[in-house]
Amino acid sequence: MGDERILRARVIRKQSPDVEMYIQDQIADGIKELLTEKGLYQKTVINPSKLTEYSKSNKLYESENYSTSDLKIEFSKRPWLPECQYVDIHSSARRPSLRPLITDSISDPSQLPLYFHLPTLELWCGRCKRHTAQLPSPASICDLPDSKFPHSTEEAIHQQFNIFYLCESCRLLPVQYLVLRDGYKLMLCGRTEPNQKKVDDIVPDDLRNILSDALSAVSEGDIHAGIYHIRTFCEHYMKKTLQLSYDTQVRGDELADHYSSTLTLQQRETAPSLKSAYDKLSQLMHSRCGNADDFKHQMSEIIRHLKLKELLTKR
Ligand SMILES: [Zn+2]
């Protein structure tokens, strides 16, 4: 059975399949962002911005009594149930603990469960020591019995998801993720193994951990630690290029000038300056300033420097 048919089989409200499919996909995208990019206690917000265009194209919501705003509130309050699309959809192993109401009545749409599929993800495997394709396990459930979840308020529903992913390469033990939901917000509250961040292939093997640490720190909201780590990367990369040991005592500006002198004129004129990145990062580190955009920009400049330097070396 194709993915689309499985997903459609779980659309309960026949009056609005396009809207339900849209929200299902948004939730799956949110789960992907949360588990691959975010660190502990960080949030992803599901954005239902296109509900307006879906509601306009659907007769159900042309009623004056049911506006786009009502639709946004409805999906914020409906229970979401994780589904694994790679196994028999009737498997009891992944039957949700929350009992869905089998109805398509719209008298109280906030009671209708909305199934969403767990996507295949590329995640770090601690056993394979690399990023691997990982599949969601049918053991994934939501709202354990007696856990007080789901908990509904006037504005939204609160839920707890226990999601399992299994590495397709080693297939040993799944990694478990604890995700809390508050309306459209998803927060990563637990993970049974660290998720090392993926670093661009251009980065030398022995320096990859430094940038991975930088990305991990920022994914958990510690921008200052991220800036410290990528500044350290610049320093180590320049020392490596100059064949200096990493514990060599040298002034930063002298190190950067010395490194720049090893570049060709074309490399200096074309590639972003590593010296500029190092100076900026030093300033941010010493003043304990900088935000996520500063981090992203400097990381991007460093990677571009490495790539263009290599490209221009080969010519
Ligand atoms: Zn593995």
Q: How confident is the model over 246-277, as pLDDT tens digits?
A: 999 999 999 999 999 999 999 999 999 999 99
Please state, as a whole number, how many other Cβ atoms lie within 10 Å of the Cβ of residue 231: 24
CA angle 278, 280, 286 (to 5 degrees): 95
Give the distance (Å) from ligand 1 centre to CA of residue 131: 8
Give the distance (Å) from ligand 1 centre to CA of residue 140: 19
* 3-state secondary structure at position 186: strand
Give the distance (Å) from ligand 1 centre to CA of residue 180: 26
Query: Across all residues in the chain, what is the average pLDDT?
Result: 85
Give the distance (Å) from ligand 1 centre to CA of residue 171: 6
Of the chain, the percentage scoring pLDDT greater than 90 comes to 62
296 Cβ contact list (under 8 Å, min separation 6): none
Query: What is the spatial distance between Cα 231 and Cα 98, in angstroms, rounded to a whole number?
Result: 48
For the stretch 122-139, pLDDT in tens is 999 999 999 999 999 988
Kindly give the pairing relationship between strand 175-182 and strand 151-152.
Answer: unpaired
**Whole-prediction pTM value?**
0.80
**Does 300 have pLDDT greater than 70?**
yes
Give the distance (Å) from ligand 1 centre to CA of residue 12: 36
Give the distance (Å) from ligand 1 centre to CA of residue 192: 14
* 3-state secondary structure at position 100: coil
Q: What is the mean pLDDT of residues 155-159?
A: 90
Give the distance (Å) from ligand 1 centre to CA of residue 126: 7
Q: What is the mean pLDDT of residues 183-200?
A: 94
Give the distance (Å) from ligand 1 centre to CA of residue 307: 29
Give the distance (Å) from ligand 1 centre to CA of residue 175: 10
Give the distance (Å) from ligand 1 centre to CA of residue 202: 23
Stretch among 57-66, 204-213, 284-293 having the lowest mean pLDDT? 57-66
* Burial of 241 per CB tally in 10 Å (0-12, 13-18, 19+): middle
Give the distance (Å) from ligand 1 centre to CA of residue 43: 26
Instruction: Give the start-to-end residue ranges of the domains of the chain.
Output: 3-191, 205-314
Return the closest-CA partner of residue 19 out of 65, 64, 70, 89.
70
**Does 11 have pLDDT greater than 60?**
no
Q: What is the mean pLDDT of residues 61-79?
A: 77
Please state, as a whole number, how many other Cβ atoms lie within 10 Å of the Cβ of residue 292: 11
Give the distance (Å) from ligand 1 centre to CA of residue 127: 5
Give the distance (Å) from ligand 1 centre to CA of residue 163: 17
Give the distance (Å) from ligand 1 centre to CA of residue 194: 13
Distances from the Cα of 217 to the Cα of 6, 177, 259, angstroms:
38, 19, 27
Q: What's residue 273's pLDDT?
A: 95
Binned at pLDDT 50, 70 and 90, residue 104 comes out as very low
**Does 44 have pLDDT greater than 70?**
yes
Give the distance (Å) from ligand 1 centre to CA of residue 3: 25
Please state, as a whole number, how many other Cβ atoms lie within 10 Å of the Cβ of residue 216: 18
